[in-house]
Amino acid sequence: MGESNRGDILTVSNLHHTYLQGTPLAQPALFGVNLVIPAGSCVAIIGHTGSGKSTLIQHFNGLLRPQMGEVVVNGARLSNPQVDIRAIRQQVGLVFQNPEDQIFERLVGDDIAYGPLKQGIPLSEVVQRAKWAMGVVGLDFDEMKNRSTFAMSGGEKRKVALAGVLVLRPQILVLDEPTAGLDPRSRRDLLRRIRDLNRSEGLTVVFVSHNMEEVAYLADTVYVLAAGHIAFHGTPRELFGALDERPDLQVGAPPGVEILRALHSRGYHVDTTRFTVPEVAEEVAAAASGQRGPAAAAEPPSGDLSAPPTAWEGPAHRREPDGRHPHAHAEDRGDAHGR
């Protein structure tokens, strides 16, 4: 795509990885992966189970070191054994799948403060950070800090775990299937907060997902990983537009795109390259009014994620690859989740 190297916060070049190297069970997982993450962007990594997504993201904060190839974070080469790995892990906050499993303290506040306290950051500063992190994920500091971690709902636990990483004040947030296993409401709430983090706080976000709706909602760049190498790289628009020519990617389209395609195949003149919920709504409305079609065809999509349509309200056109987002995002509709 020809990006310049100036604004890249993380680059991966020709990365190879083999699990259990040097044993009879050696299993290659990555073959020459190249990937660039510009500062402030929101990058989705998608691919089948076993395609190497988790292996790849574990290289981002040095949990796995490059066996071959290179990972550069903010100019630091991770193949260098002398690199300050604690500093890297502070800059790249990695949130694992089902991160609520990693909560171990009795009180919410203690668990969130664990990382910075471990780094020797003074308590007053830690409290400030914890306040910020809890605010960002939507947990009220004064109310939640002394709550028991084991008496929380799944969605709340996940927020606590997320805050426990954000409290390190990373520059890049890496999330492995952040919404897996959450109920639709918590999922929507979490996605909106991740998006706010990216758009308003300027945090670079990388996330792994199987859900194309999430990709359409959040990402400005998509990498498709297949059998340990990058099979596709581009914007969501490019990806969803290329699905017909690239059945090998085995990527499904978001429901909105499916709807536009269905309309298209029935003779409606809709633009099938549009994919966000507001865009799709616009197309559907145009088709319903312009065409003399049956009214049923104009009903808005009702996938589980888009149940209250307002929750998915987003900018109609957001294609700023550098993440400078003109959209002010004033739709803070109070906090649906706080009590």
Partner 1 sequence: MAGDFELTRNITIGQYLPTGSVIHRMDPRLKLLAAALWILSISLCHTYLGNVAGLCVCLALFALARIPLSYGLSGLKPAIPFILILAILQLLFYGNGYGPSGQVYFHWGILRITSASVRVVVVSTLRFVEIIFAVSVLTLSTSITELTHGVEGLLRPLGRMKVPVHAFALIVTIAVRFVPTFAMEMEKMMKAQASRGAEFGTGSWWNIARRTRDVFPLIIPLFNTALVRAEELALAMEARGYVPGQARTAYRRYRAGGRDIVMFLAGMALSAALVFAPFPF
Q: Find the binder of partner 1 among 11, 13, 34, 58 (CB under 8 A).
A: 58
Cα Rg for the chain, rounded, in angstroms?
21
The interface with partner 1 within residues 274-303 (CB under 8 A) comprises: none
Stretch that binds partner 1, among 32-40, 114-122, 138-146, 190-198 (CB under 8 A): 114-122
Which is nearer to partner 1, 107 or 242 (by Cβ)? 107
Question: What span, in angstroms and rounded, lies between the C-alpha atoms of 19 and 231?
Answer: 21
Q: Exposed/middle/buried for 294, CB within 10 Å: 0-12, 13-18, 19+?
A: exposed
Give the pair of three-digit tokens for residue 87. Answer: 């500093």
Whole-number Å distance between alpha carbons of 72 and 13: 8
- CB atoms under 10 Å from CB of 206, counted, come to 26
Question: In this complex, which beta carbon is closest to partner 1, that of residue 40 or of residue 66?
Answer: 66
Binding pattern for the stretch 298-327 against partner 1, x by CB under 8 A and - elsewhere:
------------------------------
Task: Choose, by CB under 8 A, the member of 47, 116, 256, 314 that binds partner 1.
Answer: 116
63 binding partner 1? (CB under 8 A): yes
Out of 33, 42, 46, 64, name the contact with partner 1 by CB under 8 A: 64
Q: Among the candidate windows 21-29, 187-195, 222-230, 255-263, which touches partner 1 by CB under 8 A? A: 21-29
Q: Which of 182, 171, 178 is nearest to 193 (CA)?
A: 178
> Any contact of residue 69 with partner 1 (CB under 8 A)?
no
Amino acid at 29: A
Q: Which residue type occupies 230? A: I
Nearer to partner 1, 123 or 285 (CB): 123
Pairing of strands 42-47, 27-38: unpaired
Q: Can residue 103 be called a binding residue for partner 1 (CB under 8 A)?
A: yes
Task: Compare residues 110 and 282 and give the one whose CB is closer to partner 1.
Answer: 110
CA distance 335 to 109: 20
Among the residue ranges 33-41, 101-109, 192-200, 253-261, the one whose residues contact partner 1 (CB under 8 A): 101-109
What backbone phi and psi angles, to 5 degrees, belong to 220? -105, -15
Nearer to partner 1, 132 or 293 (CB): 132
Element (H, E) at 208: strand 204-208
Q: What is the DSSP letter of 284?
A: H
Quick one: 90 or 291, whose CB is closer to partner 1?
Answer: 90
The only residue of 104, 265, 324, 328 in contact with partner 1, by rule CB under 8 A: 104
User: Is there binding between residue 124 and partner 1 (CB under 8 A)?
Assistant: no
Residue 4 in tokens: 């310049």
User: 68-73 and 76-77 as β-strands: parallel, antiparallel, unpaired?
Assistant: antiparallel
Residue 156: CB minimum distance to partner 1, A: 16
> What distance in Å separates the CA atoms of residue 236 and residue 46, rounded to the nearest whole number?
11
String marking each residue 148-187 x if it binds partner 1 according to CB under 8 A: ----------------xx--x-------------------
# of chain residues touching partner 1 (CB under 8 A)? 34
Among residues 297, 213, 286, 303, the alpha carbon closest in space to that of 263 is found at 297
Residue 308, C-beta contacts closer than 8 angstroms, at least 6 positions apart: none
Q: Which of 38, 47, 69, 93 binds partner 1 (CB under 8 A)?
A: 93
Residues in contact with partner 1 by the rule CB under 8 A:
19-25, 58, 61, 63-65, 67, 81, 86, 89-90, 93-96, 99, 101-104, 114-116, 118-119, 164-165, 168
